[in-house]
Amino acid sequence: MEIGNRNGRDSAMSQINVTPLVDVMLVLLVIFMVTAPMMQQGVQVNLPKTQAKSLAADQDTVVVSVDAAGRVFINSTETSHTDLTSRLTAIFETREKKEVYLKADKDVPYGEVVKTMAEIKGAGIERLGMMTEPAHGK
Please tell me the pTM assigned to this model: 0.56
CA 128, CA 126: separation in Å to the nearest integer? Answer: 7
CATH class for the region spanning 41-134: alpha beta
pLDDT of residue 25: 92
pLDDT of residue 61: 82
Burial class (CB in 10 A: 0-12, 13-18, 19+), 84: buried
> Domain map of the chain by residue range?
41-134
pLDDT of residue 26: 93
pLDDT of residue 9: 61
pLDDT of residue 108: 87
CA 100, CA 64: separation in Å to the nearest integer? Answer: 7
Block mean pLDDT (10 aa), the chain, length 138: 55 77 90 74 61 56 88 89 89 86 88 89 86 68
Report yes or no: 116 and 104 within 8 Å, Cβ to Cβ.
Answer: yes
pLDDT of residue 128: 87
